Amino acid sequence: MSYRHQLPSGVRIVGEEIPFLRSVAIGIWIGTGSRFENKQNNGVSHFLEHMFFKGTERYSAKALAELFDNLGGQVNAFTSKEYTCFYARVLDDHFEIAADTLSDMLLHSQFQVDEMDKERKVVIEEIHMYEDTPDELVMDLLAEGIYGEHSLGFTILGLEENLRSFSRQDLLSYIESRYQGNDIVISVAGNISEARVIETFGRLFGHYQPSGTGSRQLVEPPFRTPVVVRQKDIEQMHVALAAPGLPAGHPDMYALILMNNALGSNPSSRLFQEIREERGMAYSVFSYHSSYLDCGMFGIYTGTSPENLSDVLQLIQECVARFAEQGLSEEELSKGKAQLKGSMMLGLESTSSRMSRLGKNELLLRRSISIEETLAAIDAVRTEDVLRVSRQLLQHPFAISTVGPMSEVDVQAAIQNSGWVNA
C-alpha cells in the first residue's frame, strides 16, 4: 500500500513499503526545470543539479562521493524541462544516512566559488559533447523550432554564455524563488516503514521554508511546424518530426501509449518493421511521446543516409497516414495491452521504478495512481479510442528538424520529392 503525508512546510512525502526487498530508493523531486527559466538564466536548474554535489557544511564533494560508494549505493540526479530529481538507492540498513545526506545536499550546499568555477567548465564540456551528439541535438532543434521563444523551447543544459556568468547569488536567488515547499515531493519505495519515513523526513524537512515567493505560472506554448536544418559534416542525416501530443494526466493517455507502441516504440512496431527490417534504410527509427503539465509532443526519430532521406520521409508519411485512417485491429490492441501491462509489472520489481512512479505522479498530477487503477485504464481502451486519438494527433501538421551533411536547400528538396504534405 502506498501512503501520502504533507509536512507543515508544504513538502509532500509519498511512499510504498515493500518488506520482501532489501533495498530502498529515495527521490527528492523539485518542480522546476528549464521551462521555468528565462533567456538570462537558462541552464541554472541543470547547473544547480551539479552544484548540489559539490560540498555542504559537513561534507566536501569528495566525501559525498565516497560516502555513497562506501555504502555500496547509487546516487545521482537529473534535470528535465519541468522538474529536477535527486535520488539514491541503498540497502535498507542505510536508509537514514542516505536520507540525511541527500537532505544535507539540498539544504546546506555551500556553492563555493572555486567549486562553481570548476563545475561550470564541466557543464560547458557537457554542452560541447551534446553538440557532437546529433541524435540529441536534433531533438533540441525540434523543440526550439516548435516552441520558439517560449521556455519549452529552451535547452535543459542552457547556454554557454549563461554558464560563464552565473554567480553564487544567482544560484541562491533561484533556489529561494523556485525551490518552494509545495513544489517538493519526497518519494520512497522499499523495505522501510511509513513511520520511519515520515519521522526521518519530517525532522529533516519539517521546517523547510525558503524566503522567496516564486510561483510556477504556466504560459500556454505555441506549436509551430517549421523545417529546421543544421548542416554538420557527419555521415548520416538525423531527422526528428513532431505533432502536438497530450498533457500529463490526460484521459486519453493510455490510448496514446497504445498507439505509440504499435506505430514506432518497439521492434515489432510498424515504423521499425517498414523502414529498418523490410527496407534496411535506417538502423534506428522510433516514435515517442513527451507530456508536459499543459501540453504534449508526439515525435518520430530516424537516422538515415542522405540519399535515402526522401524515401524514408515518404515511408514515414505513408505509415502515419495509414495508421490515422485505419487505427489498430482488435488483435493488435490486445497484444499492445499485454505488452504494456507486462512491461509495467516487470518495472514494479525495481524499487527505483516504484519510487519514480510515486514521485512523478504526485508532483505532476498531485495524486497517487494505484496499479489496479492503471491496469483498469489500460483494459478500458477500445480500438475506436486509439483511432480517435490517432486522427487527432497524426493528422496535424508536423514540424521537422534535421542534423547532417545536407544543406537546407537539399533538405527542402528531399521533403518536396517525398511528397510530404503536412510539414
CB 259 within 8 A of CB 266: no
| C-alpha to C-alpha distance for 272 and 269, rounded to whole angstroms | 5
Of the listed 16, 17, 37, 49, which one is catalytic? 49
| C-alpha to C-alpha distance for 271 and 48, rounded to whole angstroms | 39
The C-alpha cell at 420 is 510530404
Can you say whether the dihedral through the CA atoms of 176, 177, 181, 187 is positive or negative? negative
Beta bridge partners of 286: 301
Hey, what amino acid is at 301?
Y
H helices present in 327-418, as ranges: 330-347, 351-360, 371-380, 383-394, 408-418
| C-alpha to C-alpha distance for 105 and 110, rounded to whole angstroms | 9
Element (H, E) at 312: helix 309-326
66 labelled catalytic: no
The C-alpha cell at 87 is 535520488
Number of Cβ atoms within 10 Å of the Cβ of 181: 17
Active site residues: 49
